[in-house]
Amino acid sequence: MTTPYTYEDTEDFARRADAEDPLRSFRESFLFPPTAEGSPVVYLAGNSLGLQPRNAAQYVREELEDWARFGVEGHHHGRHPWLHYHELVTEQAARLVGAKPVEVVVMNTLTVNLHLMMVSFYRPTRERFKILVEGGAFPSDQYAVASQARFHGYDPREAILELKPREGEETLRSEDILATLDQHGHEVALVLLGSVNYLTGQAFDLAGITRAAHAKGCVVGFDLAHGAGNLRLRLHDDGPDFAVWCSYKYLNGGPGSLGGVFVHERHARAKDLPRFEGWWGHDKKTRFQMGPRFDGMEGAEGWQLSNPPILQLAALRASFELFDRAGIDALRAKSERLTGYLEFLLDRLPPGFVRITTPRDPKQRGAQLSLRFQGDPQATLKRLSDAGIICDFRQPDIIRAAPAPLYNSFTDVHRFVRTLAGQAHG
């Protein structure tokens, strides 16, 4: 794939690129773990756990202070009353995933939300009961769909249809996904794909898959764990029925942070959809009348079960404010250039030392490159760690490096590959 950018394999180029970066100031809004010498690490693991925004501790502390000061009255009288706290991030979350506010709610965690969505949108029949997934999906997704199939009385070996790469290839071809839908769509109740595969880093054509699946009468959902905050998403326009995501990766919400849900506007008033119900999804105008019958809110909020954890929301709000200031379009533009620079430098290492398994087309990837190295990848990872560089390892032999555009720099990327070059020549 020909890159539209011109790069140089020099530290001076990296510094110039950083100086010209319109988003460079956002780096100072995050806390980097220190090396043993006290300098910031090169952090390329934002696809696993994002860095802490500097304002996160202050925002959490404010809510702790209001809890101490007001007790239960903090629901109404705090600086940010808890009763409506989750609404502070709704519009920001909607902008991040290309949705309308009515289509989005921040709640629960990813797999919990995935199960809640499948309760409503996986409605198998004798003729149409299969779930189409990508082979090698994140294990939690695999467990969730298998358990849902069993819950409805189906053998997962028969109910789950996996997309596999062609022999000798490591990623899926778009035409093969569409061909599978054309051939098997009449059997498929639900298409459920990750927007970006966690292992390969491959990003899928959400709009094209949605169109093809809907044409065959399938319901469509996406797992955006590696897409939210990473890709330029257009969920409303692309038209899937639902999507779910977590916020501790690219969205920097903190370990175990809250996830999010998208339910397309066409389902906003579909109160006949089966769902698991909880009081926080009840119409907020009458919620505190404590009536015996559930009256769900319109839109994604109607899938809420319980009032949200405020301290987690406070930390997430600190990150969402940064995303909102930067803008996902500008972040994506930097990401393509930054990841392209990483690819350029890796290609200049000695032949055979490292192989990039992520697609080279920027439209088919986000910030992550998945790498296979000669020799023991765990030893490579240890040498990187000793040099103050944090990536992560995934079985069987993949090191993932993800330069997150909100806080990573061209100098980070150059230092990472320069360290690898020392290993390659050592």
Q: What pLDDT was estimated at residue 309?
A: 97
- Which of the listed residues 274, 305, 324 is the one where a domain comes to its end? 324
CATH of residue 134's domain is: 3.40.640.10
Residue 131 to residue 187: CA distance in whole angstroms: 9
Integer angstrom CA distances of residue 374 from 49, 210, 396, 416: 26, 39, 13, 17
Residues 319 and 341 in one domain: no
Residue 213 to residue 319: CA distance in whole angstroms: 34
In a domain, 379, yes or no: yes
CATH of residue 372's domain is: 3.90.1150.10
Residues 244 and 374 in one domain: no
Query: Mean pLDDT for the chain?
Result: 96
In a domain, 209, yes or no: yes
Which pLDDT band, with edges at 50, 70 and 90, does 426 fall under?
Answer: low
For the cut 90, the answer to whether the pLDDT of residue 425 exceeds it is no
Residues 275 and 353 in one domain: no
Residue 249 to residue 404: CA distance in whole angstroms: 10
For the cut 80, the answer to whether the pLDDT of residue 314 exceeds it is yes
Residues 355 and 367 in one domain: yes
Give the least confident one: 197-201, 323-327, 353-357, 373-377. Answer: 373-377
Residues 301 and 336 in one domain: no
Using alpha carbons, select from 265, 338, 303 the residue that is nearest to residue 98.
Answer: 265
Amino acid at 174: S
Residues 344 and 247 in one domain: no
In a domain, 5, yes or no: no
Which pLDDT band, with edges at 50, 70 and 90, does 2 fall under?
Answer: low
In a domain, 404, yes or no: yes
- Which of the listed residues 324, 358, 383 is the one where a domain comes to its end? 324
pTM, 2 dp: 0.96
Residue 396 to residue 142: CA distance in whole angstroms: 18
Integer angstrom CA distances of residue 51 from 247, 294, 319, 341, 392: 12, 39, 10, 22, 14
Give the range of the structural domain holding residue 27, as residue numbers without chain letter. Answer: 11-31+328-425
Count of structural domains within the chain: 2
Query: Over pLDDT 70: what percentage of the chain?
Result: 99
In a domain, 23, yes or no: yes
In a domain, 108, yes or no: yes
Per residue in 50-85, pLDDT tens?
A: 999 999 999 999 999 999 999 999 999 999 999 999
Residues 248 and 386 in one domain: no
Cα end-to-end distance, the chain, whole Å:
30
- Which of the listed residues 287, 306, 324 is the one where a domain comes to its end? 324
Residues 272 and 348 in one domain: no
Q: What pLDDT was estimated at residue 422?
A: 87
Residues 93 and 165 in one domain: yes
Q: What pLDDT was estimated at residue 424?
A: 73
Residues 297 and 203 in one domain: yes
- State the burial class of residue 250 (Cβ atoms within 10 Å of its Cβ: 0-12, 13-18, 19+): buried
Q: What pLDDT was estimated at residue 272?
A: 87
Q: What pLDDT was estimated at residue 173?
A: 97
With a CB cutoff of 8 Å and minimum separation 6, the contacts of 364 are 171, 202, 203, 204
In a domain, 392, yes or no: yes
Residue with tokens 């709704």: 90
Residues 300 and 379 in one domain: no
The radius of gyration of the chain's CA atoms, rounded to the nearest angstrom, is 22
Residues 167 and 295 in one domain: yes
Q: What pLDDT was estimated at residue 374?
A: 87
For the cut 80, the answer to whether the pLDDT of residue 36 exceeds it is yes
Per residue in 164-199, pLDDT tens?
A: 999 999 999 999 999 999 999 999 999 999 999 999
